Amino acid sequence: MPADDQVLSGVLTGPLVAGERVTVTDQKGRRHSVLLREGGTFHTTHGGVSHDDLIGQPEGCVARSVGGHLFLAFRPVLNEFTVSMPRGAAVIYPKDAAAILMQADIFPGARVLEAGVGSGALTMALLRAVGESGTVYSYERREEFAKVARKNVETFFGAPHPAWQLRVGDLVETRGPEPVDRVILDMLAPWDCVASIAEVLVPGGYLCCYVATTTQMGRVMDMIRTHEGFTEPWAREYSVREWHAEGLAIRPAHTTTGHTGYLVFARRLAPGVKAPLRRRRPAPGAYGPDYNGPRPAWVQQLPPDKDDE
């Protein structure tokens, strides 16, 4: 069993042991996730690699296959584990999880509410960030997804994490009364939960919604504005492009991670406070050619400032 500090951090040290998962990389840079067991064999097109050649060795060791090819073995770090672990639902990829941790300012000791735990990828990043003194309340509507997430989290940390509370059920119906500092919503209809989470999100706290389409992004931003208890929301999308650099051959690599989702952020206002209307000039037809009703309050055209003249 790993020590308590290793459980909290998810970082194991010492020799590789049977029962843990390692990342094995071949000479072409292809990575494979392998669960070590005594007497086991990792089969490749270049012959098998014996697990016994890895068990008891330090991280960064090299094993030789029957065919003579070399394979490098490390324990998987968090970003490797989240993209290779078993999935019950799609995961939030490392590039988006990193942006959430920074943009939503997830800090040690934070109380974080997460809805839509999926396979547990973001949960592990949140637990790493809040540490022993924080709490992550995770809500998942589907029992089968919750089981997969629980197993993945316990596999990565080596034991149940003391800062994690996993609750199965609809967020609006089963939400606890605990005040929270941050809220992360990863679900199909986050706009349905804005009013509910506003009741427990402390003033100054961050709301982050992860959505897949521009339609979802627009709807949740409009709902945040309609609530009037948050700052003007902002949305971002992140992409990652790797580079190849060898001698004079310097170019973008073929592996690029483009669109995975949109991140919408807003901050909770103090009770009874409404954010000042932001000056804007919506384009004609912004609400559709057949819309004849009044514009929502947040898009009423205001007289220009002196700065605009």
Which residues line the annotated binding site?
Answer: 119-122, 140, 170, 186
Q: What residue type is 303 in one-letter code?
A: P
Query: What number of CA atoms fall less than 13 Å from residue 115's CA on the CB side?
Result: 27
* Number of Cβ within a 10 Å radius of residue 221: 20
Between strands 240-246 and 180-186, the pairing is: unpaired
Residues within the annotated binding site for S-adenosyl-L-methionine?
Answer: 119-122, 140, 170, 186
Cα–Cα separations (whole angstroms), residue 233 to 94, 192, 220, 265: 23, 16, 9, 5
Q: Which of 217, 212, 258 is nearest to 95 (CA)?
A: 258
Q: What residue type is 308 in one-letter code?
A: D
| Sign, CA torsion 22/165/87/253 | negative
Q: Which of 139, 115, 138, 136 is nearest to 187 (CA)?
A: 115
Query: What number of CA atoms fall less than 13 Å from residue 250's CA on the CB side?
Result: 2
